[in-house]
Chain A
Amino acid sequence: MNKMIRSCVYDPLRNLGDGGVFMGQVVLSVHPGRRLLAAVMRQLYFIGTRSLVIIMTCGFFVGMVLALQGYRTLSTFGATNAVGTMLGLALYRELSPVLTALLFAGRAGTSVAAEIGLMKATDQITAMELMAVDPMERVVAPRFIAGVIAMPLLTILFEAMALLGGMIFAVWVMGVDSGIFWGNMQQNVDFYSDLVIGLYKSTIFGVIGSLIAVHAGFRATPTGEGIGSATTQTVVASAILVLMFDFILSSFLVV
């Protein structure tokens, strides 16, 4: 009984607290300057640009399947002209931020966690500390900042590809009129209350996902098993927290 309480209540709470303290340390270690900018740009490439293939491909297929299922359902009400609206609303508000965050955790989050964990295991972090180089500032902060910047950008690209895929399916395959498709969407989907709200959410998911990834990597036990466990933990914790915050944010942000 004690063990169950420990593993289900005490350990997650302790991890959460540790994560909060860790984020404070990361933020406090940042010294703005040319070196930090160069490091962030480098990480933006590894974290953001290298994730483009998965984000855009998945976005395309999500758009297509959304249009497929949406068309089928809407046709029972004779409302197939609203496919564009349905795509826009569903994607901008919910699907893009959440799916991008989950894909990001799986691709970039695990890569960052494994990289930091491996640096710890091969004593590179210790070597840095012994050279009077702050590993928080040099290793952790650039990856965290790059993750936060990359997430909304990737979300926009996900949405763009999804709309493209949806349009291709609805207009070219199912024959919805192109003008009606776009016109309907333009009329009913609002820039601020749909698109921008979605981007607020995705920025917050970026903070959550990046924090979990760097924290798991930094706290990993320096063994092969420890690093594997850190990557699993990244995906699981990111998924749970992103979906939990999605509900919390949606209930506050619904205009």
Chain B
Amino acid sequence: MTNSDQPAIRIKDLCFCRGDRPILKDISLEVPKGALVAVMGPSGAGKTTLMQLITGELMPERGGVEVNGDCVSELNHKELFAYRRRIGVLLQSSALFTDLTVFENVAVPIREHTHLPESILRRLVLSKLEAVGLRGAANLMPAELSGGMGRRVALARAIVLDPQLILYDEPMTGLDPISLGAVMRVIKELNQTLGLTSVVVTHKVEEMAHLVDYCYLLSDTHMVARGTPADLMKDPSESVRQFMNGLPDGPVPFHFPAPPLAAELLA
């Protein structure tokens, strides 16, 4: 029933608030199938919130998120779980199950959702681990892995059931240059060889520029810019300039709002 021209993700006029505080206002975007896009913005701009709205963890106040034709906010509990089986999510903390080996961690979705025999399961798990370059680490425990390796194992686990869409929450944060290169290579390869629609939430400007086809910039509850990395580098708007060039002061101020200094010191 899916139209091949239908975008993988369509978000229209999305609004979300936490209590009285608006987090996202009138966000609209479309991610075509097979694209590799980045959602960027300063800390607290609502990038992770946007991701949680796509996975169905949060409900929007207004507007909707459509993924491959399904309106996420209208799914009931059972449909939501079926939907989540079709998407992969890589969390910032990897969230590997600490009492299972690497092999068992990657095997969890297969054991839970299918009745495949052990021999096929084994081949599936090992081939996914091979795709991320960690087939040799299959018998290690998560505590024995470095940060970058842990993230790659979590990635293997996220793709083990061949999802249609994968969401990465800050996959490049906290990694050394070598691990960073490894993770970026895997993200790019998965997108190209499997045609996996990928959305990367990140704030690493330079790495993003080498990785993605298209980019959305969120700041202060709005989407302030969208375009290819080259377009964003050339964008003259102040918020975009501040973010892309890493300027400490600008539309996002350096000083947290406070009463005047003289008044406070001399009181």
Interface residues of A (CB under 8 A from B): 35, 122-124, 126-127, 129-134, 138
Task: Check A131 against B91 for contact (C-beta < 8 Å).
Answer: no
- Tell me whether A130 and B89 are in contact (CB under 8 A): yes
By beta carbon, the residue of chain A nearest B111 is: A35
A131 touches B55 (CB 8 A): no
Cβ of B85 under 8 Å from chain A? yes
Interface string of B94-107 (1 = CB under 8 A from A): 01111000000000
User: Is B82 engaged at the interface, CB distance under 8 Å to the other chain?
Assistant: yes
A132-B89 CB under 8 A given contacts A124-B98, A127-B95: no
Q: Contact at A133–B93, with CB atoms within 8 Å?
A: no
Q: B32 at the A/B interface (Cβ < 8 Å)?
A: no
Contact indicator A131/B93 (Cβ below 8 Å): no
A-B interface contact total, Cβ < 8 Å: 43
How many whole Å from A252's CB to the nearest CB in chain B? 39
Who on chain B is nearest to A134 by CB? B81
B109 lies within 8 A of chain A by Cβ: yes
Contact A131 B109, beta carbon cutoff 8 Å? yes
Q: Which residue of A lies closest to B112 (CB)?
A: A133
Tell which of B91, B96, B113, B157 touches A132, judged by Cβ atoms closer than 8 Å.
B113
Q: Provide the residues of chain A in CB contact with B108, threshold 8 Å.
A: 131, 133
| Subset of 22 A-B contacts with CB under 8 Å | A122-B93, A123-B91, A123-B95, A124-B96, A124-B97, A124-B98, A126-B57, A126-B95, A127-B89, A127-B91, A127-B95, A127-B97, A130-B57, A131-B84, A131-B85, A131-B108, A131-B112, A132-B81, A132-B82, A132-B85, A133-B108, A138-B112
Question: Is the pair A130, B93 in contact by a Cβ cutoff of 8 Å?
Answer: no
Once A131-B108, A132-B113, A133-B108 are accepted as A-B contacts, the answer to whether A126 and B84 lie under 8 Å apart by CB is: no
Task: Report Cα–Cα, A143/B195, bound state, in Å.
Answer: 41
Question: How near does chain B come to A112, taking the closest CB pair, in angstroms?
Answer: 13
Q: Nearest CB to that of B93 among chain A residues?
A: A123
Please give me the residue from chain A that is nearest to B87 by CB atom. A130
Instruction: Report B143-192 residues with CB < 8 Å from chain A CB.
Output: 154, 157
CA distance A138 to B97 in the complex (A): 12
> With a CB–CB cut-off of 8 A, which chain A residues contact B82?
132
A132 and B78 alpha carbons, distance in the complex (Å):
9
Q: For residue A131, which residues in chain B have a CB less than 8 angstroms away from its CB?
A: 84-85, 108-109, 112, 157
Tell me if A130 and B98 are in contact (CB < 8 A).
no
Chain A residues, Cβ within 8 Å of B111: 35
Given A130-B55, A131-B84, A132-B81, A122 contacting B98 (CB threshold 8 A): yes
Q: Are A132 and B95 interface neighbours, CB within 8 A?
A: no
- Cβ contacts under 8 Å, B98 to chain A: 122, 124
User: Is B84's CB under 8 angstroms from A132's CB?
Assistant: yes
The answer to whether residues A122 and B95 also contact, given A130-B55, A132-B112, A133-B112 and a CB cut-off of 8 A, is yes
For the complex, give the distance between the alpha carbons of A237 and B57 in Å.
Answer: 31
List the A residue with the shortest CB-CB distance to B81: A132
A123 to B85, alpha carbons, bound, how many Å? 18
A117 to B64, CA, bound (A): 33
Of listed B57, B93, B113, residue having the most chain A CB within 10 A = B93
Residues of A within 8 A of B84 (CB): 129-132
Q: Closest 4 A-B residue pairs measured CB to CB?
A: A127-B95, A123-B95, A132-B81, A132-B84
Contact between A126 and B91, CB atoms less than 8 A apart: yes
A146 to chain B, nearest CB (A): 15
Instruction: Please report the C-alpha to C-alpha distance between residue A35 and residue B96 in the assembled complex, in whole angstroms.
Output: 20
The residue on A at minimum CB distance from B97 is A124
CB distance from A31 to the nearest CB of B (A): 12
Shortest Cβ distance from residue A126 to the other chain B in the assembled complex, whole angstroms? 7
Q: Give Cα distance in the complex from A132 to B84, angstroms.
A: 6
A124 and B85 in contact, given A130-B55, A132-B112 (Cβ under 8 angstroms)? no
Cα A122 to Cα B111 with chains together (Å): 22
| Residue of B85, B91, B95, B111 with most partner-chain A CB within 10 A | B95
- Of the candidates A124, A129, A131, the one having the most CB atoms from chain B within 10 angstroms of its own CB is A131
A residues in contact with B95, CB < 8 Å = 122-124, 126-127
CB distance from A102 to the nearest CB of B (A): 27
User: Which residues does chain B contribute within 8 Å of A133, judged by CB atoms?
Assistant: 108-109, 112
Cβ of B165 to closest chain A Cβ, rounded Å: 12
A126 CB contacts on chain B under 8 angstroms: 57, 91, 95
Residues of B contacting A129 in the complex (Cβ-Cβ under 8 angstroms) = 57, 84
Q: How many angstroms from the CA of A138 to the CA of B111 in the assembled complex?
A: 12
**CA A129 to CA B89, docked complex, whole Å:** 11
* Residues of chain B contacted by A35 (CB below 8 angstroms): 111
- With a CB–CB cut-off of 8 A, which chain A residues contact B109? 131, 133
For the complex formed, measure the closest distance between the CB of A237 and the CB atoms of chain B, giving whole angstroms: 26
Interchain nearest-CB distance for A51 vs B (Å)? 19
For the complex, give the distance between the alpha carbons of A130 and B84 in Å. 6
